[in-house]
Amino acid sequence: MKNPLKPERVVIKGIKKQTYDTTTYTMVFEDNGVQASYSFQPGQFNMVSLFGIGEAPISLSSEPQRKNSFDHTVRAVGSVTKALTRLQEGDVVGIRGPYGSSWPLEKARGKDILIVAGGIGLAPLRPFITYMLGNRSQFGRSEILYGAQTPQDLLFADEFKAWQSGNTRVFLTADRVPKGVVWIHKVGVVTTLFDKVTITPEKSIVLTCGPEIMMKFVVIELLRRGFSEDQIYISLERRMECGVATCGHCQIGPKYVCHDGPVFAYKEIRDLFGVVI
């Protein structure tokens, strides 16, 4: 985009409810030329503006190879995201981006892939998953571990069957299962799924995103299993307001999450981000 601080007008073309508080919005730039030139890498985010209300950084959740539109999967937790739930198809919002670093596609080619996600953390991983599945011959085996608070909180549940094919396996867990809900998968936090993992540190890479406390114990378990610090990639969330490493709200030591991240090799931030480990 020509001016990184100027939002472009975007029309909401589709709205799909994922859970009671999370929705996927399909968006298209009003300017056909802007839409034609827009592209992003898996793991990047946009600044989404609701005129007169504010901006919020939101990860892209659609497949990067789709060129005629893009998706944001949004949990309604703040003023901007809650206001977004009041909009309808045809309404206009503002978009700046894409910003930030991405999942390491090139480094992942030819390797086995272990993906560990928690809750809304599956949204920024979905573009990598869809790209991998669409280019299956470029990657080795893959295993996806995904957990949420309850079965009703799982995102993209209608896609799991398609994901689990060929060399890809999907394992699910829920922290708790409400009475009367049929659930044939694991019960517990996402790290309880590690006993299903067959991918080993040799010729592999790990991508993880979710609550910080989840990522902390995921990293501990991965290191215990022999994965190295430069094999583990995590996506961080910090208060990002400008998206271009100027305001300093998302700074951790010398790193700006909006610019140097949100995706980091764990080795890069081990000594800066003590919350993880």
Cα distance between residue 121 and residue 46, in whole Å: 16
SS3 at position 20:
coil
CB contact at 8 A, 138 and 109: yes
Measured torsion, CA atoms of residues 86, 87, 93, 99, in degrees rounded to the nearest 10: 70
Residue 247, marked binder:
yes
Query: Is the bond preceding residue 127 a cis peptide, omega within 30 degrees?
Result: no
Q: β-strand 8-17 against 22-29: which pairing, if any?
A: antiparallel
Contact 169, 160 (CB under 8 A): no
Is residue 209 a known part of a binding site? no
Whole-angstrom distance, CA of residue 63 vs CA of residue 132: 10
From edge to edge, which strands make up the β-sheet containing 168-174? 186-187, 168-174, 142-148, 112-118, 204-209, 232-235, 263-265
Query: What one-letter code names the amino acid at 3?
Result: N
Q: Which long-range contacts (CB under 8 A, 24 or more apart) does 216-223 make?
A: 216/275, 216/276, 216/277, 217/189, 217/191, 218/116, 218/190, 218/191, 219/266, 219/276, 219/277, 220/277, 221/191, 221/194, 223/277
The span from the CA of 85 to the CA of 269, in Å, is 35
Q: How far apart are alpha carbons 255 and 170 in whole angstroms?
A: 33
Detail the residues annotated as belonging to a binding site for [2Fe-2S] cluster.
Answer: 242, 247, 250, 258
